[in-house]
Structure 1
Amino acid sequence: MKEIEVIFEQAPPAVKVRANGETTELPALWLRERSQDPAQLDRQTQQRLFDSHAIDPEIALLALEPVGALQARLAFSDGHSSLYDFSFLHAELDADDAFPAAQGWDSALDQAAMRFSWPDMQIPERFLTALDSYLRYGFVVLTQVPTAPLSILDVAAKFGYLKETNFGRYFEVFSKPDANDLAYTGVHLGPHTDNPYRDPVPGIQLLHCLVNQTSGGLSTLVDSVSVVRELAATDPEGYRLLKDTSVKYRFIDRGTELVSHKPIIKTDAQGRTLGVHYSPRLDGLPLLPLEQLKAFHRARQRLGELFCDPAYQIRFPLLAGELMLFDNSRVLHGRTRFDPSEGPRHLQGCYIDLDGPRERYASVRIQLSTLKEVA
């Protein structure tokens, strides 16, 4: 929301907002909760000092006195009166404005622009650029990461907070006997998201290459935002089914069983695609009436075809000292087949919570803004 005009009316008292060609009156209840009076709102934490849930739902705005273009003194029927600065409306009415918006991409994406040097992540400006790219496109690739075991944990701590699972704080990815997951073999892995059987699903995955002496095993990435947009345009009913129908995901290991139920397509309150829960090895068709089941399956089938379409997929070798960090719901990952007899291919992986990069982005912006003001 780029332009917001605040309109003060005194008879009867009202505060209105004009944005994107539409005018909206702000309800007295909504305004009363947002009192900025020092006795009502702690200036340091911006947390309320009163119980807003106890406000009378029939509260009314009794008087309004404009003080400036964006300021007015408001008086309410509960006896409260205070000065309001309505510059807060930009952030209030457009909660995501402080963060880069997601941008869909396909195979034409400039991969070089998504690569960043790990040593440069100690420079706030470069770190902010990498975070910006991650928030827009859902992934980045870091180069020059030390190949010493567990270096991945240093990267994880830089970008967010480690999430431990039944695989541990981190996990090894290499071909091994008696594997409890196909990731630990040399077979081709189609585009998928990790751990859809978990609740919550791990937000962000990191994969760090320690050694790679194979000619195969190319890493693949696909943006679900672009793919889902295509599905919604060509099969709206199938899109709706995948968005609204709960699916069972199940994982079984020695002594462990994890099950969750969730739709394949994940959206936010505004209907924007956040990602998918997609793993053909772990999901099960829901029990639906036959014709609806066929429509669901056709939509799921088409979604899988789009995920594997070279037009949407990027491929690259993940070499020793390189690490890819990606939104585990938004960006599907996979791997081409490789021959373990050619030589070792050893990756380490871990998960961090989804909100880490957003927190870091906000913190670095504040840090750089403070440094600029001091300068």
Structure 2
Amino acid sequence: MLDTPKPSHSVSTAPIRAMRSEGERVAVDLAVGRTGKLSTRWLRLACECEQCGDTASGKRWLTPADVAAGVRASSIDVAAGEVRVVWGDGHVSCYGSDFLAGHAGAGSGPARFQPQLWSSDLSAKLGRFAFDAVVADDEALFHSLRALRDHGIAMLTGVPAETEATVRVAARYGPIRETSYGKVFDLISRPDARVAGETARAQIPHTDEPFRYAPPGFIFFHAIHTGAGSGGTSLMVDGFHVAELMRNRTPDLFDVLTRHGVTFHREHAGEVYFSAEAHVISLDATGAVTGIRYNDRCLAPQTASEDEIDGVIEALAELTRLICHPQNQFQHQLQPGEVLVFDNQRVMHGRSAFDPTLAVRHLRSCNIDRDGVHSAFRTLARRFAPQEAEAVLYQGAIF
């Protein structure tokens, strides 16, 4: 029995001129003059009519096992931005032409977003966004999320130098992640420091908490008091940039950090004992850098064969040298009322030493998982930049 389902996915104008069945493949003539092909089995599985169900909502009833390898289309009609397919068993599927055009051809589908790399030159590129606008206006929030997508970092200005403002602004980007350090962590220099952030010592740029199986995604640093002039300059490094430097200059060492597990740990006696083994540089299926996990202060004694251990140490040493080079560091003296938001699985943060006797330095820190931030970006992109909503974003330190 034939039905008249709603089109699967979105319908736009007419990027497809014609389609025809060729057995296991469906030939696609695109309006731009190119041709492509789709797997017939893929096309049947992509149906999202009421009977087959919706993958986006999770109310999906058709499974891959339900679509036989020999499935064939009886007829294919293309008209007004919509493709209607009648299958051999009588089932009818409708698709948006733009959706199918995006998948036609080898290696096609949603584009992979290409991050914009930076070094000490970030100042001219850094997105700065007013607190009042971000907390009240969705479009302003979207532009700040786009900056985080592009550069992995953004600055919020005019934020009240009050403790309650930290959660107020951070919660706009996604649910705040509570850890063993609490929902919001106050970084104040003190003589009985529990973590390095509570000391006045210089810190090499690093990612936070690499000893967790899933490190924090995005970090908010809210400046309450900074003691400007007494030191404590923030040092920010684009981990993707230094990874590409390694790939180009020392490919053998780059390869070590992409394939050899490195162990990080953290223990507070009687309270927590974290330990995780992971790649320092994560790559996606195309070989692009998708995440960084590195903190020299949390490196456990490494495990490797006698023939490999020196290579692992040299790879870590070379990465550290690149991180510490001023040419790769953006330096900024945080002022009260500023918030730095950054991708903790891309951007490494550190600071210069400061004199705690001259002024109190007080930052408030909280974390949001990266999927929450990316979800907020995609949701708002549907409203303000629909063409950007489907791109595959770099997914972080996932291995």
More deviation, 313-322/172-181: 172-181
Partner SS, residue 349 of structure 1:
strand
Compared with structure 1, are the counterparts of its residues 285 and 91 closer, same or farther at alpha carbon in structure 2 (3 Å cutoff)?
farther
Which digits, 9 at most, give the CA deviation of each residue in 1:246-265, with x for residues without a partner?
A: 11111011321111111111
Give yes or no for the alignment of 1:29 onto 2:44.
no
Match of 1:53 among 56, 59, 64: 64
Partner SS, residue 202 of structure 1:
coil
Question: Which position in structure 1 is the counterpart of 2:4?
Answer: none
Give yes or no for the alignment of 1:109 onto 2:125.
no
Cα distance between partner residues in 2 of 1:124 and 1:66: 40
Cα distance between partner residues in 1 of 2:304 and 2:29: 46
Compared with structure 1, are the counterparts of its residues 50 and 287 closer, same or farther at alpha carbon in structure 2 (3 Å cutoff)?
same
Partner SS, residue 312 of structure 2:
helix
Taking the TM superposition and a 5 Å limit, the aligned residue runs for 1:317-336 are 317-336=333-352
Query: Does the CA contact (< 8 Å) of 2:126 and 2:155 recur in 1?
Result: no
Cα distance between partner residues in 1 of 2:29 and 2:21: 17
Query: Does the CA contact (< 8 Å) of 2:72 and 2:88 recur in 1?
Result: yes
Deviation at 1:46, TM superposition (A): 5.5
Partner SS, residue 76 of structure 2:
strand
Cα distance between partner residues in 2 of 1:289 and 1:66: 61
Structure 2 residues not aligned, in runs of 5+: 1-14, 387-399
Partner SS, residue 167 of structure 1:
coil
Deviation at 1:12, TM superposition (A): 4.7
Cα distance between partner residues in 1 of 2:24 and 2:189: 71
Cα distance between partner residues in 2 of 1:112 and 1:14: 46
Give yes or no for the alignment of 1:296 onto 2:322.
no
Give yes or no for the alignment of 1:95 onto 2:110.
yes
- Aligned AA for 2:353? R
Deviation at 1:123, TM superposition (A): 2.8
Question: Which position in structure 1 is the counterpart of 2:379?
Answer: 363
Deviation at 1:54, TM superposition (A): 3.0
Question: Which position in structure 2 is the counterpart of 1:41?
Answer: 53
More deviation, 136-145/17-26: 17-26
Aligned-residue sequence identity (percent) comes to 27
Deviation at 1:109, TM superposition (A): 2.2
Cα distance between partner residues in 1 of 2:25 and 2:175: 45
Deviation at 1:200, TM superposition (A): 1.1
Query: Does the CA contact (< 8 Å) of 1:13 and 1:64 recur in 2?
Result: no
Question: Which position in structure 2 is the counterpart of 1:134?
Answer: 148
Match of 2:363 among 347, 352, 355: 347
Match of 1:210 among 224, 240, 261: 224
- Aligned AA for 2:79? G
Query: Does the CA contact (< 8 Å) of 1:218 and 1:315 recur in 2?
Result: yes
Give yes or no for the alignment of 1:236 onto 2:251.
yes
Deviation at 1:360, TM superposition (A): 2.2
Which digits, 9 at most, give the CA deviation of each residue in 1:309-331, with x for residues without a partner?
A: 11111001111111111000100
TM-score by length of 2: 0.83
Cα distance between partner residues in 1 of 2:385 and 2:195: 46
- Aligned AA for 2:375? E
Deviation at 1:90, TM superposition (A): 5.6
Cα distance between partner residues in 2 of 1:139 and 1:287: 34
Query: Does the CA contact (< 8 Å) of 1:73 and 1:83 recur in 2?
Result: yes
Question: Which position in structure 2 is the counterpart of 1:168?
Answer: 182
Which digits, 9 at most, give the CA deviation of each residue in 1:84-143, with x for residues without a partner?
A: 33321366654356xx64111111223474222111212333222211111100011111
Taking the TM superposition and a 5 Å limit, the aligned residue runs for 1:268-307 are 268-284=284-300, 286-307=302-323
Give yes or no for the alignment of 1:154 onto 2:151.
no
Match of 1:250 among 262, 265, 283: 265
Cα distance between partner residues in 1 of 2:215 and 2:17: 41
Match of 1:123 among 114, 137, 148: 137
Deviation at 1:222, TM superposition (A): 0.3
More deviation, 130-139/286-295: 286-295
Query: Does the CA contact (< 8 Å) of 1:61 and 1:75 recur in 2?
Result: no
Cα distance between partner residues in 2 of 1:369 and 1:110: 25
Partner SS, residue 159 of structure 1:
coil
Query: Does the CA contact (< 8 Å) of 2:84 and 2:92 recur in 1?
Result: yes
Cα distance between partner residues in 1 of 2:277 and 2:41: 37
Cα distance between partner residues in 2 of 1:112 and 1:233: 24
Give yes or no for the alignment of 1:188 onto 2:202.
yes
Compared with structure 1, are the counterparts of its residues 76 and 259 closer, same or farther at alpha carbon in structure 2 (3 Å cutoff)?
same
Deviation at 1:48, TM superposition (A): 5.0
Cα distance between partner residues in 1 of 2:25 and 2:67: 18
Which digits, 9 at most, give the CA deviation of each residue in 1:136-161, with x for residues without a partner?
A: 00011111111111311111101111
- Aligned AA for 1:58? A
Compared with structure 1, are the counterparts of its residues 91 and 177 closer, same or farther at alpha carbon in structure 2 (3 Å cutoff)?
farther
Cα distance between partner residues in 2 of 1:251 and 1:113: 32
TM-score by length of 1: 0.88
Cα distance between partner residues in 2 of 1:90 and 1:313: 42
Query: Does the CA contact (< 8 Å) of 1:219 and 1:316 recur in 2?
Result: yes
Partner SS, residue 354 of structure 2:
coil
Cα distance between partner residues in 1 of 2:47 and 2:239: 41
- Aligned AA for 2:232? G
Question: Which position in structure 2 is the counterpart of 1:220?
Answer: 235
Cα distance between partner residues in 2 of 1:229 and 1:34: 37
Query: Does the CA contact (< 8 Å) of 2:21 and 2:73 recur in 1?
Result: no
